[in-house]
Structure formats: C-alpha cells, structure tokens
Amino acid sequence: MNKFLGNKTAILLFILPALLLYTVMVFYPIVQTFFRSMYEWDGLSEGTFIWFDNYTRLFQDSLFFTSLKNGLIFAVIITVTQIGIGSILAFAVADAKFKGRKILRISFFIPVVLSITVVCQLWLSIYNGEYGLINKIFEAIGLEYKQDWLTSSKSAIIAIAFVNAWQYMGYHFALLLAGVKSVPEQYMEAARIDGATKLQAILKINIPMMAETYKFCLVFAITGGLNAFANMYIMTSGGPGTSTYTLTYLMYRSAFRVGEFGYGSAAAAILVIECLIATLIINRLIARERISY
C-alpha cells in the first residue's frame, strides 16, 4: 500500500503543474509584497530600504487597529451567518423527496451568480436613510425609528458584513450540500433505525462526518472576511470617515491614494500572516481522526 500511494513519479506528475503555476503567478508576487514592505516606495520609482520602519509605523497608526478590528468583525459575522444559515438550508434541501427542492436550490444560489456591484447597489438602496426600504417599513408600521444604517460609524461595518454574508451564503450552501450528499446513506438509515430524531442524526452523524467540509468552509469564510474589500469599496469607500476600513482597504488607500506602496505592502503582509494564523487554528481545532469504516 505504501508503495502504491508513495509512487514518486505519480506524485510529481500530480503536484508539479499546480505548484509551478501557483508559485510563479501567485506566490512570487506575495514574496515581492513582503520584500517591498521593507521599503519606502511609491510603487514606481526606486525605493529606499528601511528595514521594519513601515511595521513600526503601522503599529502606531490608529487606522491600522481600526482596520484590524473591522476585519475581525466582518469575518465573525460572515462566518456565523453563512455557515449557520448555510447548514440549515443545505440540510433542509438535501432530502431527495422534498418537493420544490430544485427551485429552492437554484434560488438560494442566485445572489452568488450576480455581480457584487449589483448586489451592493441593491443594498445601498435598501439601507438608504432618505429613500431606503428598511426605514420605509419602519415608517409604514408607524415607527419613527429612522436609522442611519451605513452612515453611523458604529453600525456601518455590521451592515456591510451582512450584505456579504447574504450574497455569498449560496457558496456555503452549495459546498455544504455537496458535503451532506457525500455522507453515505446507510449511516443515516442506521441512525433512523436506532430511533434518533433528525436533529440528533445531524448533530451526531452528519456534522462529524462533514468535518472536512466544515473545515474548508470555515477557512473560506474567515479569510474572505479578513480580506474584505469590494463591499466597502462600492458601498462606503471606507467611510463614513475611516470607520469601514479593513486591512485591504488600508493597503489600497496607502498604495494608490497616498502613494506609499511600501507601507501598504506592510499592511498586506500582516493580513497574510493573520489569515495564516486563523487557518492553522482552524486546522488544530478540527484535527479529527479519520472515521474508519
């Protein structure tokens, strides 16, 4: 078996194309980012090597901490809602005898198919303080409660996170559905014969069997949240003021609006390290033994 699964030629043949392409097109630019984070550099001219000065500055910049905090809030919100609601939807729709299952499945995925620009524009209209839907509903039921959803520095990041959570729910739904479908039927039958309720079966059998699926859903949601950029770029441009900055936004502002590419690269480097730590923690937490059949 070891010989069978340790076939050197096969391993090289399988991994080399992906590794090569990835190293050249993705990893090499990342290395450049780390390298440039030690330069005072505007992105075009010759830079000056300044060791870790950018990092020292970063750790004294209140904007950096705002960005860091917003990234974490964003990641937590989208992880909880996407995986939570995504699981409910996936388990509900997994049943082959469920009527209307196809329509539901297609519907849940529609927001993902649309471009992020469309979805952000829609939610901008919904949240709008003057013309928005939410405030109109409050008005209609007679509440004089007008909330500045995107324009209060406290609620803006949460409001934006929910837009992302809602739009990309479909990804998690689809991945979890594929995960549910991969759990062999006989386990569920066995649970049913033992008299387990549906919830018990899901908790005791489905979810543990889907540990690998949950693992990548978690990594996907958390790193996606820490990386967040497009939503705030379209919806608030980081505002009001700086209250919806994330590390990516900080990088973008430093590099392109301020012309401090080196400083922006340092923010990006921290982001990569942050994501790496999050991934390692997830792997540690869900390090289960493979269920033997």
Partner 1 sequence: MKKLAIAAMSFCMVFLAACGSAGNNEAVNDKAANEGNKETATNAAQEETKPEEDAKPVKLRIYAQYADDDTKLPYDYAVAELKKEMPNVELELEVQAQDDGQKLKTYAATGNLPDIFQAGLDIITTFKKSGNILELDSYVDELGFKDKMFPSTMNTLVADDGHTYAFPYAGNEFVLLYYNKELFEQNNVKVPTTYDELMTAVTTFNAAGITPMSIFAKEKWPTVALFDMFVTRNEPQGILKLDKGQASVSDPAYKEAADKIIELVKAGMLPKGATNLNYDQAAALFHQGKAAMFLNGQWEIAESTKQLGDKAGWMYFPGKDAANYEASKYAFSGGGGPGGYAVNPDTKDKDLTAKVAAFLSLKYAEYKYTERANPLVSTKVDKAIVTEYPPMMKQLSDDIAKITSTTSFAWGLSDAKFKAAIEDASQSLMTGAYSAEQFIEDVSKAVPAAK
Partner 2 sequence: MTWMMKLRKNNPSMQIFLWLYAILSVYPLVWMIFYSLKNNDEIFVTNPFGPPVHLRFENYVEAWSKYNVPSYFMNSLLVAVATVAGAILLAVMFSYAAARLRWRFSKIAHTYILVGMFIPIQVIMIPLAILVRDLNLANTYGALIIPYIAFNISFASMVFYGFFRSIPIEMEESACIDGASIYRTFFSIMLPIIKPALATMVIFIFLNSWNEFTMAVILITKESLKTLPLGLLFFQGQFTTDWGAMGAAMTIASLPTVLIYILFSEQVENALTVGSAVKG
For residue 153, with 0-12 CB atoms within 10 Å meaning exposed, 13-18 middle and 19 or more buried, which class applies?
A: middle
Is position 276 an interface residue for partner 2 (rule: CB under 8 A)? yes
Distance CA 92, CA 76 (A): 24
Distance CA 75, CA 164 (A): 10
Distance CA 8, CA 251 (A): 42
Is position 179 an interface residue for partner 1 (rule: CB under 8 A)? no
Give the x/- contact pattern for partner 1 in 234-273, rule: CB under 8 A: -xxxxxxxxx--------xx--xxxxx-------------
Residue 206: CB minimum distance to partner 2, A = 11
Among 75, 79, 105, 260, binds partner 2 (CB under 8 A): 105
CA-based torsion, 216, 218, 219, 221: positive or negative: positive
Query: What residues numbered 68-87 form the site for partner 2, per CB under 8 A?
Result: 85
Residue 136: CB minimum distance to partner 1, A = 12
Query: What residues numbered 105-124 form the site for partner 1, per CB under 8 A?
Result: 124
Please give the span between the terminal C-alpha atoms of the chain, in angstroms, as a whole number: 18
| DSSP H/E element including 207 | helix 207-209
How many other C-beta atoms are found inside a 10 Å radius of the C-beta of residue 64? 20
**Which pair of structure tokens corresponds to residue 277?**
């730590």
Residue 257: CB minimum distance to partner 2, A = 12
Residue 238: CB minimum distance to partner 1, A = 7
Residue 266: CB minimum distance to partner 1, A = 15
Is position 84 an interface residue for partner 1 (rule: CB under 8 A)? no
Asked whether 264 and 252 are in contact (CB, 8 A), the reply is yes
Of the pair 9, 154, the CB lying nearest partner 2 is at: 9
Asked whether 266 and 54 are in contact (CB, 8 A), the reply is yes
Q: Among the candidate windows 12-20, 29-37, 142-150, 183-191, which touches partner 1 by CB under 8 A? A: 142-150
Residue 59: CB minimum distance to partner 2, A = 19
Is position 216 an interface residue for partner 2 (rule: CB under 8 A)? yes
Q: Tell me how many degrees the CA angle 111-91-175 measures, rounded to the nearest 5.
A: 50
Is position 47 an interface residue for partner 1 (rule: CB under 8 A)? no
* Count of residues of this chain found to bind partner 2 when the rule CB under 8 A is applied: 106
Q: Which residue ranges make up the site for partner 1 (CB under 8 A)? A: 42-45, 124, 127-132, 135, 146, 148-153, 235-243, 252-253, 256-260
